[in-house]
């Protein structure tokens, strides 16, 4: 599609023929003409849209988790591998493609609750701790706020802690 804006002639591709049929290309051209009528440069608009989509993929919870994991230089290699395995198995498969701004506390809690019926309460608490420890997303503007306060006390307590609460005499002197 050829167009002229600010006294410059430019061209814009609407797609390749077998993929984009003639009827669809006409509809796309009409939508682009509406933008031109509003004095929007189509090539700049396309660059902005590409940048926005690139930023959206950079905000996925998996990308943020991997970035956070890479910054943990004080961990031993064994611990780092263990944390990564837990994230891969229990978090990324459920919420890895969503951005953290899309994930609310109930969705995050439901992801972690898949671990609880297996009796791994300690593991559930650890995985939740890893997920809510992604403060890098708040500081870089990838999500609006930290979900940690919303999830406090939502998981089943460890079995040992339940025993201690029921029998106060078992506390060490």
User: Which residues, in sequence order, are bridge partners of residue 4?
Assistant: 9
Q: Report the predicted TM-score, pTM, of the whole model to 2 decimal places.
A: 0.48
pLDDT mean over 145-153? 70
Structural domains of the chain, ranges and CATH numbers in brackets: 2-57 (no CATH), 61-166 (1.10.150.130)
pLDDT at 59: 62
Task: Kindly give the pairing relationship between strand 2-5 and strand 8-11.
Answer: antiparallel
Q: What is the pLDDT of residues 46-71, one digit of tens each?
A: 888 887 776 665 566 777 777 777 88
The pair of three-digit structure tokens given for residue 51, joined into one six-digit string:
């940048």
Q: Are 157 and 121 in contact (CB under 8 A)?
A: yes
pLDDT at 58: 58
Is residue 7 predicted with pLDDT exceeding 70? Answer: yes
Q: How far apart are CA 81 and CA 131, in angstroms?
A: 16
């Amino acid at each position: 599609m050829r167009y002229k804006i600010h006294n410059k002639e430019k061209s814009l591709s609407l797609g390749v023929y077998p993929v984009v049929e003639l009827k669809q290309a006409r509809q796309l051209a009409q939508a682009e003409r509406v933008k031109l009528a509003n004095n929007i440069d189509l090539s700049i608009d396309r660059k902005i849209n590409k940048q926005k989509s690139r930023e959206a993929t950079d905000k996925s919870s998996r990308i943020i988790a991997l970035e956070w994991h890479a910054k943990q230089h004080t961990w031993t290699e064994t611990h780092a591998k263990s944390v990564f395995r837990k994230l891969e198995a229990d978090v990324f498969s459920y919420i890895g493609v969503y951005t953290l701004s899309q994930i609310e506390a109930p969705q995050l809690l439901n992801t972690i609750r898949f671990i609880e019926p297996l009796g791994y309460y300690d593991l559930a608490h650890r995985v939740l701790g890893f997920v809510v420890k992604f403060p890098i997303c708040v500081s870089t503007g990838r999500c609006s706020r930290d979900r940690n306060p919303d999830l406090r006390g939502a998981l089943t307590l460890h079995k040992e802690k339940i025993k201690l609460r029921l029998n106060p005499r078992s506390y060490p002197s």
